[in-house]
Amino acid sequence: MPLTASPKSKKGGPTKGKTRLEPVRDAERTQQMILNAAEVEFANKGLAGARVDVIADQAGANKRMLYYYFGSKEDLYLAVLERAYIAMRQTERELNLTHLKPLEAIQRLVEFKFDYCQAHPLMIPLLAGENVLGAKYLKRSRKLRDMNLSLVEVIRKVLDAGMEEGTIRPGIDPLHLYLSMSAESYFYFSNATTLSATFGRNLLSEAEQQIRRKHCVDVILAYVRAN
Amino acid sequence: MPLTASPKSKKGGPTKGKTRLEPVRDAERTQQMILNAAEVEFANKGLAGARVDVIADQAGANKRMLYYYFGSKEDLYLAVLERAYIAMRQTERELNLTHLKPLEAIQRLVEFKFDYCQAHPLMIPLLAGENVLGAKYLKRSRKLRDMNLSLVEVIRKVLDAGMEEGTIRPGIDPLHLYLSMSAESYFYFSNATTLSATFGRNLLSEAEQQIRRKHCVDVILAYVRAN
Amino acid sequence: MPLTASPKSKKGGPTKGKTRLEPVRDAERTQQMILNAAEVEFANKGLAGARVDVIADQAGANKRMLYYYFGSKEDLYLAVLERAYIAMRQTERELNLTHLKPLEAIQRLVEFKFDYCQAHPLMIPLLAGENVLGAKYLKRSRKLRDMNLSLVEVIRKVLDAGMEEGTIRPGIDPLHLYLSMSAESYFYFSNATTLSATFGRNLLSEAEQQIRRKHCVDVILAYVRAN
Amino acid sequence: MPLTASPKSKKGGPTKGKTRLEPVRDAERTQQMILNAAEVEFANKGLAGARVDVIADQAGANKRMLYYYFGSKEDLYLAVLERAYIAMRQTERELNLTHLKPLEAIQRLVEFKFDYCQAHPLMIPLLAGENVLGAKYLKRSRKLRDMNLSLVEVIRKVLDAGMEEGTIRPGIDPLHLYLSMSAESYFYFSNATTLSATFGRNLLSEAEQQIRRKHCVDVILAYVRAN
DNA sequence: GATGAATGAGAGTTCATTCAT
DNA sequence: GATGAATGAACTCTCATTCAT
C-alpha cells in the first residue's frame, strides 16, 4: 500500500493550511538521507557487502530514488566517498595553525587527527574499504583529483618556523611526518576491533581513548622536538 | 606466499617432470592451493566481493572441493584469516629480541614490523577487511582465541632493561608502544593507494619504501630514547 | 483448482480482450498464480523433488517473484499447505449437518469426504508428503495451529441425536469414526497408483469411483447403525 | 579407514585360525547394510529428499559401494521398495486363514494389517512416497509385476464360506473389502503425524493404538456380518 | 517526485556420480 | 572389495537494476 505522507519531514517552510507540517517531496533532503544511509552501510559492509535495499530502507526512501539521484550503486558509493573527503578537507582548511607556536601547532594537528577519527567513526572503515580496492573509485573521481592536500605545505611552514626558533630539529620530511601523525590515530581506530579481539581487552573504552590521544601527541612531539 | 608445489606430495616415487596442474588427488596440497587462491581473492576483494568461482579457478581446483574441505565461503575466509595470523605469530615468536641491547631490540622490532608488511602484502587488506566487519570472524575463531600475543610482554622486558641501563626513558606503556610500532608501518602500507592518489605520487616505490622504513625507526626511537 | 484469472484485478477499467500472461503487475494475482503452480509441483514431486524454476515457469512468473512474495521454497511450501488446509476447513464449516437426520448426516459426511478427495486431487499427495516429513511444516504453522477442527464435535452431536432416536448404536467414539470416514476415501485415492499397479487394474476409472463411493458409505453406515 | 572386523557377519562358515572372527569383506552383508540404511533414509525423506551420503554413512559403507552394488540412487530405491513388498507378500502368504471360521478369518486379517503397519513403520512412508510419484518405480519393477496378490482370492473364499454358513452377508466385493481393511490401519499410521498436529493430541500412544486396533476390527466386522 | 512489481544475470551451495589408487 | 578425492550439472537463492503507474 502506498504510504500517503511522511509524518516528519524536516523543513517546515511555508505552513500550508494542511494538517501535515510540510510537503512530502523534498529532493535535497531525500538525497541527504540516502547519502547518510549509504555512508553507514558502505562503512559497515564495504562496497560489495552493502545492500541497495538496506540503504533505501534506512533512508526512508524508495530504491528507485536511489537510482534516480545517483545512477548506480557504484556512483552512490563514490558520492559518499567524495562527500566524506570534501568534509574532511574542509575541516582541515579551517584549522588555523600558522598563528600558533610551532610545537603547539604540531600538537594541535595531532589532536585534530585524533579527534576527527573519533568524531567521524564511519570515515575509517570507508577509507579502509577503498584502500582494499586499491583506491579504484577515488582515482576515478574528478572532484577529488582537483582537491589538493595543502596540509603538508602547512606542516612544512610550521617545521621551518620551529627550526628557525630552535624548538624543532632539522631534517624532518613534512610528508612522512604527516603520515606518522595520521598513522598514530588512524591505526588505533581502524584496527581497534581486531586488536581488541587479539588482546582480549576493549581498546575503545573512554579511558583508553584518552590515554591513546595523549600517547599520539607524545610520540610525534618526541620526534620533532629539538635536542 | 603461494607455494607452487606441495613439499610433501604423498607419492614420492618416480619424480615426474610435469609442470603442475594435472588433477592432483592430494588432499593436503589441494587444500593449500585453495587457501592460497582464497587469500589473494579475499585480500583484493574483501569477503563479500570475493568470488568462489574465481578462487576455485585460481586454485586449479573444482568449486566443489572448496566446500568439501572448508564447508562454506565464510569458513574458508576464516581459515585464510587463521592461517595468516598463525604464520605471523609464529614469525614473531622466532624473533629473538631479548639477547639484543634494548635500543637495538626496539629498532629490530620496528624493522620487523615493516619488513613483515612488505613481505606479506596480502596480510594488510585481509586485516583491513576484517576490521571493517568488526572482527566478526576473528572473534569466532577458536584457534586464534587461544593464541596469546606475547610480544607485548617481550617489549615490557626490553623497556625495563633499557630503563635499568639508562638508555630508555621511563613511563612508557608497552602496549601503546606496540601499537605505535605497528601503526607506523601498517598505515603506510594499508593506506598507500588512497594516499598515493591524494598526493598524486607513488608512495610505494622502492625508494619511498626505504625512506619510510628508516622514518619508522626514527620516530619510535625518538620516543623511547632517554634524554 | 488453479484459477485461470484473478477475479479482482486492480484495474477494472476497460476490459482488454487479452488472453493472459503479459506481465501482469498485479501482486495479488501473481501470488495466486505462484501458489497454484507450487501446489501442483509440490503435490507431484514432494517438497524435495519440486523445482523452484518449474514453479516459476508454470506460474508465468519470474523466479525472483517467488522469493519476493514467499521468502523461500520451504515457506512457499508451507503457504501452499496452509491454503489447502484452510480451504478444506472452510468447506467443512459450510457443511450443514445438524439439520439432517442423524444417519443422513453421517452419509452426507462420508460422501463429502469422498467428493472432496475427488475434487481436490492435489490435496492427497500434498498431505502424504507432509506426513512423510512427520508434519514438520504443519507443526510450524501459526495459522493452522489456531484453526480448530470442529468436525469431531459435530459428529458427536449427530451420534448423540441418533442414539436418542434409536437409529445409531451407542458406544461409538466420534474421533475414531471420523478417522474411519476419512480413511475409507483417503486411502483409496492416496494409494490408487500403487494398488492399480499391484492389481494390474485401473482403480480410478469412472465406474470404479462410483463403486467405491457407495462402498465407503456402506461400511460406515453398517458400523454406526443400530441393530 | 577400513573397518577391521565386523562383529556379526552372517556366514560364520569354517572358523579359520585367525584372530579376527570373520573376513572383513562380505558382499552380502554390505548390501544388506546399505539396503537397511537406504530404507530408513528413503522412508523418512522420500526419494528426492534422501541423501546418498547419509545412506552410505549410516550403512557404515563407502559411497562407492552403493554404486557398485546398486548402480544408482534410483535403482537402490527400487531395490528397497522391492525388498519391502516381497517381505510383505511373503508374510501374507504365511497367513493361514482358510482353516479359520470365516468371521475369525476376517478379524485375523484386519489384525494382521494393523500389526504389520505397526511392526514395519518404514513401510508406510515408503509406500506413501511411491504413491506421490504415481507408482513410477513400482511399475518399472520386474520382480513385483510377477508377484500376484492372492490375498483377494483368499478373501473371496472366506466370504463365500461365510455366506454359506450364514454368518456373512452376501454382496460384498472382496477387493473393496480388502481396500477397507487396509485403509483402516494404513490411514491411521500414515496420517498420524498431521492428524496429531491437527488435533493437538498424540494419536500414536500405546493406549490409542490399542483402541484403534479394536476399532478397525469392529468397523470391518460390522460391515461383513450377516443381519 | 515517488512507488511496488518485475527481472536477468549470477552468486553460493548441493548432489549424484566417477576416478585413481 | 573398498576408499578418499574429484567433478559437472543443477539447484536455491540474491542482487542490482528497470518498468509501469
pLDDT digits (tens, 9 = 90+) for D77-104: 999 999 999 999 999 988 888 899 999 9
Q: Where are the alpha helices (DSSP H) in chain D?
A: 27-49, 52-58, 63-70, 73-94, 102-119, 123-132, 136-140, 142-145, 151-165, 174-190, 192-199, 206-224
CB contact under 8 A, A184 and B180: yes
> What share of chain B has pLDDT > 70, as a percent?
88
Is the C-beta of residue A4 closer than 7 Å to nucleic acid chain E? Answer: no
Distance of CA C45 to the CA centre of its chain: 17
Q: Is the pLDDT of residue A99 over 50?
A: yes
Is the C-beta of residue A9 closer than 7 Å to nucleic acid chain E? Answer: no
User: Could you give the CA distance from residue D85 to residue D151 in angstroms, rounded to a whole number?
Assistant: 14
Q: Name residue D37's amino acid.
A: A
Which chain B positions have a beta carbon within 8 Å of A41's beta carbon? none
CB neighbours (10 Å) of residue A85?
21
Which chain C positions have a beta carbon within 8 Å of D132's beta carbon? 43-46, 125, 128-129, 132
Report all structural domains of chain B as residue ranges with CATH numbers, in order of start. 22-71 (1.10.10.60), 81-224 (1.10.357.10)
User: Could you give the CA distance from residue B71 to residue B65 in angstroms, rounded to a whole number?
Assistant: 9
Identify the residues numbered 1 to 40 in chain C whose C-beta atom is closer than 7 Å to any atom of strand E.
23-27, 30
At residue D149, the pLDDT reads: 67
Which chain D positions have a beta carbon within 8 Å of C189's beta carbon? none
**Residue B199 grid cell:** 598526493
- CA of residue B25 to C1' of nucleotide F3, angstroms: 13
At residue A148, the pLDDT reads: 65
Helix (H) or strand (E) holding A14: none
Q: Which of A142-151, D112-121, D195-204 has the lowest mean pLDDT?
A: A142-151
pLDDT classification of A98: cutoffs 50, 70, 90: confident
Is the C-beta of residue B16 closer than 7 Å to nucleic acid chain E? Answer: no
pLDDT classification of A3: cutoffs 50, 70, 90: very low
Identify the residues numbered 123 to 142 in chain D whose C-beta atom is closer than 7 Å to any atom of strand E.
none
Q: Is the pLDDT of residue D21 over 50?
A: no
User: Could you give the CA distance from residue A180 to residue B114 in angstroms, rounded to a whole number?
Assistant: 14
A touches B, CB cut-off 8 Å, minimum 3 pairs: yes
User: Could you give the CA distance from residue D202 to residue D140 in angstroms, rounded to a whole number?
Assistant: 37
**Residue C40 grid cell:** 501442483
Highest mean pLDDT among B56-65, C217-226, D150-159: C217-226
At residue B14, the pLDDT reads: 33
Helix (H) or strand (E) holding D122: none
> What share of chain B has pLDDT > 90, as a percent?
77
> What share of chain D has pLDDT > 90, as a percent?
74
pLDDT classification of A145: cutoffs 50, 70, 90: confident
Is the C-beta of residue B74 closer than 7 Å to nucleic acid chain E? Answer: yes
Which chain A positions have a beta carbon within 8 Å of B179's beta carbon? 187-188, 195, 212
User: Could you give the CA distance from residue C34 to residue C54 in angstroms, rounded to a whole number?
Assistant: 10
At residue D11, the pLDDT reads: 36
CB neighbours (10 Å) of residue A169?
15
Q: What is the mean pLDDT of residues C178-182?
A: 97
Q: Is the pLDDT of residue D9 over 50?
A: no
Instruction: Return the SS3 of A101.
Output: coil
At residue B150, the pLDDT reads: 78
Distance from CA of C25 to the nearest CA of D (A): 34
**What's the whole-model pTM score?**
0.86
Q: Which residue is nearest to nucleotide E7 (CA to C1')?
A: C62
Q: Is the pLDDT of residue C14 over 50?
A: no
pLDDT classification of B8: cutoffs 50, 70, 90: very low
Q: Name residue D210's amino acid.
A: Q
Which of D136, D193, D205 is most worth mutating to test chain C (most C CB atoms within 10 A of its CB)? D193
For chain A, the residue count is 227
CB contact under 8 A, B144 and A198: yes
Identify the residues numbered 16 to 55 in chain D whose C-beta atom is closer than 7 Å to any atom of strand F.
24-27, 30
Which chain B positions have a beta carbon within 8 Å of A49's beta carbon? 46-49, 133
Nearest to A87 by CA among A112, A116, A64: A116
> What share of chain A has pLDDT > 90, as a percent?
74
User: Could you give the CA distance from residue B4 to residue A100 in angstroms, rounded to a whole number?
Assistant: 58
User: Could you give the CA distance from residue D1 to residue D19 in angstroms, rounded to a whole number?
Assistant: 20
Nearest to C190 by CA among C85, C117, C91, C84: C117
**Residue D106 grid cell:** 476376517
Average pLDDT across chain B, whole number: 88
At residue D28, the pLDDT reads: 84
At residue A36, the pLDDT reads: 96
D89 to chain C: nearest residue by CA? C198
Average pLDDT across chain C, whole number: 88
Vertex D55: Cα angle to D49 and D60 (nearest 5): 165
CB contact under 8 A, A138 and B191: no
